[in-house]
Amino acid sequence: MEHFATLAALTLAAGTPLVFAALGELVAERSGVLNLGVEGMMLVGAVVSFIVTATTRHPWLGVAAGVTAGAAMALAFGVLTLSLMANQVASGLALSLFGVGLSAFIGLDYVSAVVEGIKPLAIPQVSDIPVVGRLLFAHSPFVYLFHTRAGLIVRAVGESPASAHAIGYSVARIRYLCVIFGGACAGLGGAYMAVAYTPLWTEGMTAGRGWIALALVVFATWKPWRALGGAYLFGGVTLAQFQAQAMGSEIPSQLLSMLPYIATIVVLTLISRDAIAIRLNAPASLGKPFHPDA
């Protein structure tokens, strides 16, 4: 029983960066903006939080800095796609490539640094308080999107920006806020990895989690609760792979390390096969720029 609780806690810990990143991206996509830069925002969030933690010795300050950095990256993406009407796919790729380069550059002096990370607050047999916090956090986008007026407006902007504009809402402003929220969440996911989960910084340490988060949003058919489940499912896969390696399995470690990526492809494929479910659930204006005059 105790072993099971430990495993559950570890699974939750492994899935948490994905939870943050996927839920943030989900909100952005619900407003009609596809931001492929999640990986870049996570990396920058991770490196900034790590550097701030290493220099100030205050992990929570580091987390705040990581969140801010992710939001700042998202703001740059917003300027490109929402103010300058750039292609969202290309801009998102640019954001990811830029984030990889930027984080490698500024993090170079901190690669072997050691920090005192955030310790989980242990409650015997139950798991930890951050988990409860995470569940609450995951609950909030759900409540926000489906049970508040503001969430209704976000969804309206994502479904039909022209209608939302016609009845007086500023499409650009709402999308900016959602994109920045997405960036802050991705930064939080990165900060969690660098300050709490590992805690260390290595180049490209998110190892594709930003991209997996994007796949999770599709997998969840843009519903927060399903994104949460998917993220922990992937936490489980990641954990199973580590466990198998630790137990000295006969299978080469590289094959085990492929598991999360292959699982992503399989899951994405299975869910996408149902073309109608995707079309009914995807925000209708996803990826399309909106300019009031055009």
Partner 1 sequence: MRLRLEARPQPSRSMAWLSPLLAILATIVVGFLLFSSLGRNPSQALYVFFVKPVETLYGIGELLLKASPLMLCAIGLAAGYRANVWNIGAEGQLTLGAICGGGVALALEGVGTGAVLLPLMLVAGAVGGMAWAAIPAWLRNRCNANEILVSLMLVYVATLLLSLLVQGPWRDPEGFNFPQSRMFADAALLPVLLPGTRLNFGLVIALAAVALGWIFVRRSLTGFQMRVAGLAPAAANYAGISMQRTVWLGMLIGGAAAGIAGVGEAAGPIGQLLPSMSPGYGFAAIIVAFVGRLHPFGILLASLLMSLLYLGGESAQIGLALPSAVTGLFQGALLFFLLAADVLVNFRLRIVRDSSIAGAAHAAKAGI
| Chain residues that interact with partner 1, rule: CB under 8 A | 36, 40, 76, 79-80, 83-87, 89-91, 93-95, 97-102, 104-105, 108, 203, 207-208, 211-212, 214-215, 218, 252, 254-255, 257-258, 261-262, 264-265, 268-270, 272-273, 275, 278, 291, 293-294
- Rounded to a whole number of angstroms, the minimum distance from the CB of residue 89 to partner 1 is 6
Identity of the residue, 89 or 150, whose beta carbon is nearer to partner 1 in the bound complex: 89
Identity of the residue, 120 or 208, whose beta carbon is nearer to partner 1 in the bound complex: 208
CA distance 113 to 230: 33
Pick the closest to residue 176 from 254, 77, 246, 251 (CA basis): 77
- Rounded to a whole number of angstroms, the minimum distance from the CB of residue 44 to partner 1 is 11
String of DSSP letters for 106-168: HTGGGTT-----PPP-EETTTEEHHHHHHHHHHHHHHHHHHHSHHHHHHHHHHH-HHHHHHTT
- Rounded to a whole number of angstroms, the minimum distance from the CB of residue 20 to partner 1 is 19
Q: What is the CA radius of gyration of the chain?
A: 19
- Rounded to a whole number of angstroms, the minimum distance from the CB of residue 197 to partner 1 is 19
CA distance 203 to 9: 26
Positive or negative CA dihedral for 184, 186, 187, 193? positive
Identity of the residue, 127 or 211, whose beta carbon is nearer to partner 1 in the bound complex: 211
- Rounded to a whole number of angstroms, the minimum distance from the CB of residue 143 to partner 1 is 28
- Rounded to a whole number of angstroms, the minimum distance from the CB of residue 119 to partner 1 is 30
Count the helix, strand and coil residues of the chain and give each as a percent rounded to the nearest 5.
75, 0, 25
Identity of the residue, 90 or 136, whose beta carbon is nearer to partner 1 in the bound complex: 90
Q: Residue 56 has which token pair?
A: 């100030």
Identity of the residue, 117 or 230, whose beta carbon is nearer to partner 1 in the bound complex: 230
Residue 35, Cβ neighbours under 10 Å: how many? 30
Identity of the residue, 9 or 104, whose beta carbon is nearer to partner 1 in the bound complex: 104
Positive or negative CA dihedral for 169, 226, 36, 266? negative
Q: Residue 51 has which token pair?
A: 């550097």
Identity of the residue, 2 or 293, whose beta carbon is nearer to partner 1 in the bound complex: 293
Per-residue DSSP letter, 291: -
- Rounded to a whole number of angstroms, the minimum distance from the CB of residue 128 to partner 1 is 30
**Nearest 5°: CA angle at 181, between 83 and 139?**
145
